[in-house]
Amino acid sequence: MGRDAWRAIRDRISDEIASGVLLPGTRLPTEPELRRIFDTGRHSVRRAMAALAMEGKLRVEQGRGTFVEDAPKLNYHVGRRTRFRQNLRSQGFEPSGETISEEIVPASCRVADALQLAEGAPVHRLLRRDMADGVPINLGFTFQCATRFPDWAALRREGQSVTEAYRAHGIIEYFRRSTSVHSRRAREEEAELLQQHIDQPVLVVRKVDVDRHGVPIGHSEGIWAASRVQFVFDGADDVPLRPHSPQQVALTTDGSS
Amino acid sequence: MGRDAWRAIRDRISDEIASGVLLPGTRLPTEPELRRIFDTGRHSVRRAMAALAMEGKLRVEQGRGTFVEDAPKLNYHVGRRTRFRQNLRSQGFEPSGETISEEIVPASCRVADALQLAEGAPVHRLLRRDMADGVPINLGFTFQCATRFPDWAALRREGQSVTEAYRAHGIIEYFRRSTSVHSRRAREEEAELLQQHIDQPVLVVRKVDVDRHGVPIGHSEGIWAASRVQFVFDGADDVPLRPHSPQQVALTTDGSS
DNA sequence: ACGGATTTGTTCGTATGTATA
DNA sequence: CTATACATACGAACAAATCCG
């Protein structure tokens, strides 16, 4: 190996995964074995493994070994009136999930801002973990004002849907005010819950729902395993773009000068 | 330093950036200096730098040094009828950009699929690079059928907007059919053009536009520096969610069983 | 224009800690 | 408990890019 040993190893293994020589779930040779195979030092092997783990192509487990990732790659349709379960089932994945925590906490700065409450005001915080075929996909926080929705936790615990819980509190119609998406490094707890590499990024999706008067009633924050999901915004948000009004149209990210 | 040297270094520097002790653009001490400061080996220092560079907090340049990143963090509003320039100006950034390449190429599998053409059919491919305050934000590919839009490149070269170019070819109204977002590792050329670390992820945004008959007329693929942008889907795609029809509503990623 | 100094990138070696089987 | 396998840490050398006299 020359001066690009780790890239060569990365690309070689990446190719073998892509071409099907290495099947999902397969265990890779151990580091000493890879060292012999590629006739290189341990650092180069580890650098390549780290890069592939970061992309989500490998799953590295201390004490066990390194495996070809077999996590699902799902298209998650946002903005449609479908539920998580339907969303997954339509793509052949088996949805599951669990409630990790459910408590009343003082609103953080961000939550207070989203819900238009005072910082520190009591809010219901629900944390769920959703999975596809048993593989963690998303950590979902939801926040509702505990004063406005006193029975929220109880209703949700009884198995009521979000919509039903809102209706029980007199809200019969509500709207999505905004959805934002950005990427960041996973915190260590998140990486653990999502069963992904420490250095792998997550996609953070934040939403605010408002009632018919425009008053915020709910805020949610989803932490998604970035390598396992693609978001699709389709259909519903099709807005006709009319070239007739010249200053109002942008289809591409057009910033020529 | 004990057994978590690199995390300690990472967190320490991360804190100093967050608290303003280290200002954007500041040059960090060199590796030998940091080694002495933290009384540790070079590997630990480099591991910490790599982690911070991956998050977009540091910019490492071989032969020059390591700097606190001062790239903009912008909210990019998608789906609105605003242009890239307006989008940036409203947040106080100075937009700029350049056309990197402009040619007719055979359609790749993905492009052919998006535009409903045969694989290998000739398409216009335009590559632009857009920047905010001189920092690269986005690499934007656009694809149009060269047969249907023979004068595309010429019109665009003359400074016509996408909309105007469409109109010149008889299309007076068009729609966004779908938008998808996912994350992946940047390729080396992309990392170079975006001036970001090799291991940093990018956000890939793909769109398909259709005419009034639903026929695809344009496809675009944006490669965004993930650490410099947050996408906001707002306003226009607000669809009333009516709890009255019980099976149709999902506000949270609700997958309880 | 060139060469040496500086700084980061890659590679090799080795030892020890920690989680798993 | 022992063996295996990955995680972290130390040290050293040379390559490549940049800077500066």
CB contact under 8 A, A226 and B162: no
Tokens (6 digits) for B182: 């996912």
pLDDT of residue B80: 64
CA dihedral for B60, B64, B70, B73, sign (positive or negative): negative
Helix segments in chain A, DSSP class H: 5-18, 31-38, 42-55, 84-89, 109-115, 152-157, 162-168, 188-193
pLDDT of residue A83 exceeding 50: yes
pLDDT of residue A239 exceeding 50: no
CA distance B196 to B198: 6
DSSP B26: P
Average pLDDT, rounded, for chain A: 86
Ordered mean pLDDT values, 10 residues apiece, chain B (257 residues): 84 95 95 94 95 95 94 85 82 92 95 95 95 94 94 88 88 87 93 92 94 92 96 60 36 35
Other Cβ atoms within 10 Å of A116 Cβ, number? 15
Distance between the alpha carbon (CA) of B95 and the C1' atom of D21, Å: 39
pLDDT of residue A231 exceeding 90: yes
- Looking at the C1' of nucleotide D11, which residue has the nearest alpha carbon? B41
CB distance B191 to B198 below 8 Å = yes
Chain A residue with CA closest to B186: the answer is A55
Share of chain A above pLDDT 90, in %: 67
pLDDT of residue B139: 96
pLDDT of residue B256: 37
pLDDT of residue B4: 87
Q: Which nucleotide is nearest to A7 (CA to C1')?
A: C10
- Residue A63: phi and psi, rounded to 5, are 85, -15
Using a 10 angstrom Cβ sphere, with 0-12 exposed, 13-18 middle and 19 or more buried, the burial of residue A14 is: middle
Q: How far away is chain B from the Cα of A166, in angstroms, using its nearest Cα?
A: 9
pLDDT of residue A44 exceeding 90: yes
CB distance A79 to A236 below 8 Å = yes
Distance between the alpha carbon (CA) of B149 and the C1' atom of D21, Å: 57
**Protein residues contacting strand D, judged by Cβ under 7 Å:** A 3, 28, 30-32, 42-43, 46, 49, 60-66; B 1-7, 40-44, 47, 61-64
The distance from CA A23 to its chain's CA centroid, rounded to whole angstroms, is 25
More confident residue, A3 or B34: B34
- Looking at the C1' of nucleotide C12, which residue has the nearest alpha carbon? A41
Distance between the alpha carbon (CA) of B26 and the C1' atom of C8, Å: 17
pLDDT of residue A2 exceeding 60: no
Distance between the alpha carbon (CA) of A199 and the C1' atom of C15, Å: 25
Rg for chain A (alpha carbons), in Å?
Answer: 23
pLDDT of residue A235: 55
pLDDT in tens, A157-212: 887 888 888 999 989 888 888 889 999 999 989 999 999 998 999 999 999 999 88
Cα of first residue to Cα of last residue in chain A, in angstroms, is 47
Q: Measured over all CA atoms, what is the biggest interatomic distance in chain A, rounded to whole angstroms?
A: 69
Best of A183, A205, A213, A230 to substitute, by most chain B Cβ atoms within 10 angstroms, is A183
pLDDT in tens, A94-114: 999 999 999 999 999 999 999
Q: How far away is chain B from the Cα of A36, in angstroms, using its nearest Cα?
A: 23
In chain A, which residues have their Cβ closer than 8 Å to the Cβ of B140?
252-253
Mean pLDDT of A57-70: 94
CB contact under 8 A, B238 and A179: no
Distance between the alpha carbon (CA) of B194 and the C1' atom of C15, Å: 40
In chain A, which residues have their Cβ closer than 8 Å to the Cβ of B80?
250
pLDDT band at A240; cut points 50, 70, 90: very low
Q: How far away is chain B from the Cα of A32, in angstroms, using its nearest Cα?
A: 20
